[in-house]
Structure 1
Amino acid sequence: MSIVLSMSAFALAASISPGPVNLVTLSTGAQFGLRPAMRYVTGATVGFTLLLVLLGLGLYELLEFWPFLTSALRLGGVAFILYMAWRLAVDDGALGNAKTGAAPTFFHGATMQWLNPKAWLASVAGMGAFAANGEPSRVWQFTGVYFVVCLGSMACWAYAGTFMRGYLDHPARVRLFNRVMAALLTGCAIYLLLS
């Protein structure tokens, strides 16, 4: 598995799995349609990738002072990937009900990512796993891959909300989806341990 494919698998599993931002995206699509949902999706994607690149570049500076952290971050990133896989594999598939209100905006999406623990954990784990050596080109490569995958993943949630409202009523489908994502994450972790 190439590094870009591994990055893509991690980004896909982390971006498309249910979480607070994706649930808001799904709800926005279901309540307000695709166009308002895509404004939110674009804001959330920009907000997340800004968080990702800033953490990656900060990590680079930190690692220049403490190079032993490279191995610790790599192992920590792999451990978190495996933890995410386990959580997805055992999830019951219940997503809960979406809230009603005004359509979230681009700014809401960007802000939500900075408040989302899943985004912080995915950023730290991803940078720890794929750019722990602090090489700026690797940080930008991972950020670029993640931007494309995140935008596409969240757009899928917006589309699903718009056209498949009944999706929230079928926990069995969510459980199957989560197990596929868990398998992708496990494959990504294995690759990182072997490379």
Structure 2
Amino acid sequence: MSVVFSMAAFALAASITPGPVNILALGSGARFGFKASLSHVGGATLGFTLLLVLTGLGLNELLRQWPVLTQGIRLFGVAFLLYMAWKLARDDGQVSADDQARAPSAWYGALMQWLNPKAWLACVAGMGVFASDGETRQVWLFAAVYLVICYLSIACWAYAGSCLRHYLENPSSMRLFNRGMATLLVLSAAYLLA
């Protein structure tokens, strides 16, 4: 039972801390509400869990043999963060019922995880600690624990954003919030380039 607790503690520390996926979940919750953000939460969780399982089953070995792939992931991730920041910075701050269709999708959440260097580091580090021998049972156990904790962690960020929503009802407040989120994404991208 202690290994499951250790897995859960690792998953919580890696999932609840700020990062691009959580920043977007916060912004989505503030802009579109909690319920509309759950698609992004689910997609990001499933995208991460798939990445975790594949890492545990040997994807990290491929990255060691082809370091250019790791560099490509980092550059695509930075480009994706800058694109999201640009979209947030340009947003007019208007909140209406029609905006529900534009809440981040499940595919968007999953793609974010695959382009998120923080996710790759968490996968490689976590599997290195809990399934370094490649034992399939340990890989799946860790993935199951991580799935639950990752979902709840990202959902917490979306819920926190939805709690801010009533403070952001006027367009100027929403624009200011969006620009703050855009700045955080740019800072994340700059950190990844350093």
The equivalences for 1:16-95 within 5 A come to 16-58=16-58
Q: CA deviation at 1:164?
A: 3.5
RMSD: 2.2
Aligned residue in 2 for 1:133: 133
Cα distance in 1, alignment partners of residues 59 and 3 from structure 2: 19
Q: What's 1:8 paired with?
A: 8
SS in 2 for 1:52: helix
Q: CA deviation at 1:133?
A: 1.2
Q: Is the 8 A contact 1:36 1:103 kept in 2?
A: yes
CA–CA separation in structure 1 for the residues paired with 2:116 and 2:142: 20
Structure 1 residue 27, shift from structure 2 partner: 0.3
* Structure 1 residues without counterparts, runs of 5 or longer: 63-95, 169-195
The percent identity for this pair of structures is: 60
TM-score of the superposed pair, with normalisation by structure 1: 0.63
| CA drift at 1:26 | 0.3
* Structure 2 unaligned regions, length at least 5: 62-84, 92-101, 168-176, 178-194
Q: Which is worse superposed, 1-10 or 113-122?
A: 1-10
User: Structure 1: which amino acid aligns with 2:88?
Assistant: K
Match of 2:88 among 99, 107, 110: 99
Aligned partners of 2:38, 2:131: CA distance in 1, in Å?
Answer: 29
Moved over 6 A (4+): none
Name the TM-score, length of structure 2 as normaliser. Answer: 0.63
Cα gap change, 1:162 to 1:7, in 2 (>3 Å):
same
Q: In the alignment, is the contact (CA less than 8 A) between 1:14 and 1:122 conserved in 2? A: yes
Find the aligned partners of 2:59 and 2:32 in 1 and give their Cα distance: 39
Residue 28 of structure 1 aligns with an amino acid whose one-letter code is: S
More helix by share: 2
